Chain A
Amino acid sequence: MSKLVITSIGPASSVQDGGRPGSQRYGLVPSGAMDRLALAAANTLVGNELFAAAVEIGPFGAAFTARGGAVRIALSGASRNADIAGRPVAIDTSATLADGETLTLGFARSGSFSYLAIEGGIAGEPDFGSLAVNARAGLGSPYPRPLQSGDELQTKPASGAPERRIEQPATAEAPIRIVWGPQDDEFGDDAKKLFIDSEWKISATSDRMGYRLEGSVIKHLHGHNIVSDGTVNGSLQVPGNGQPIVLMPDRGTTGGYPKIATVISADFGRFAQTSAGRVFRFKAVSMAEAQAAARRFWELLRSLPDRLRSIESFDLNIDALQDANVAGYAVSAVDATTWQVASPADVSGPD
């Protein structure tokens, strides 16, 4: 058995997979990866199931050391410097650590979360069919909490398969698309127009439960309390202070603030990757357009195995050089206060 030993890791890093849907009626949220496309791409590179468990790595750096044998890995999601014993590793490629070698990851440069998939998966005991960490519910395996230095992830020895890269569509800088509702009638037309016309940023007080938005103050028509109802990933709830909170995969299953809109499922991962402090906008689309986008997103997921390419040293060097050049001056917009324990989505309690 090979294993990856975590030699250093920042907050907001945990084992995540496709999550555990099916028990929201009992208050258990599915959790799972913030960016499912990146999770699926990383897994595809090493021949795993699309939504197999991988390490979701937050905006900070991390290091992993192979023990007991070689370990084959792949990285996708947020771009960052990566190397194995000094050999550069590009995002969206696979690579192999020989026994004793260390994979070192820098801070996220664009995006927030990278996914480290491990060939053969992460050994663990699933609960409700998932290894995803949900610390509040005491769920997750092999550790029911975010990862810490010294943790070990057991896996299979590297197969020796040739390394691959994966071609993904270019990341759009387009606005984040929403559909109105379910409670947009709690807001006037002027408030909805302000929501769409405003520039927004993700606040530093954000986490896997909720992203707090900074921008305009969105006023309610009838006050900010509604009778609790169900939430989804991407619910845009507006609490009393008028600063919207977007609910993320560790959200409460129900909530008592009016929800003006919902991020469409095809854009949710892209939204989750928005770094703290970066300016973005929302765009309202019809249900038909949102559902067409959901179908295209599903087609993209299905097409991932067809997007694998062999690595020629040329590709690798260009990517790595670009990464190194950018890293020379780019600094992540996040700081250590960003991924904190108490969640803004959490402070109000049950409704």
Chain B
Amino acid sequence: MQSRAQAIHALFDILADQPVIVCNGFPSREAQKIRDRAGTFYMIGSMGVAASIGLGLALAKPDQQVVVFDGDGNVLMGMGTLATIGAVRPKNLTHVVFDNEVYGTTGNQPSYSRVVRLDQVAKAAGYATVERVWEREDIMYEFKHMLANDGPHFLLIKVNEQIEDADRVALDPAEITKRFRAAVEQGRTSNS
């Protein structure tokens, strides 16, 4: 099984200009360390609403493919949003969930995703595509396919508990907003 950081690497190898919303905690810290880009919105608080932010952005920008990097604890906290996405069905939303089955940022307390299949919840909620993957090649194959087709898509990536040694998000939150908003407006999100 891969680490989340390895999975993020694989996704960034495919991503071009698509805006990305990253959930709070280590996922944001790792994404910043692996590849800082203007088109990544790093969350530092408001756990549980990464997919809601992604949904709002997808509705506002129907011509851009919006990507959300989420975690199992986050999805469980805002599980109602799977219903909203399943009902609203934005074609341009890809919801990636790194599932390590723990609350890793706070000390690996177990999460319910080890017994509740989040991919099946997403499927029941009405996502157009739902996949559960472990390996790098499968991550890349499915992610590429999702970005090229109508969603909403749900990509559950099973990862191990390893955490990358990554600093806190360096940018001031207001600066993140300004930079991200400008990048989305210009449709150019890949360089900072």
Report if A and B associate in a common complex: no
* Chain B interfacial positions (CB closer than 8 Å to A): none
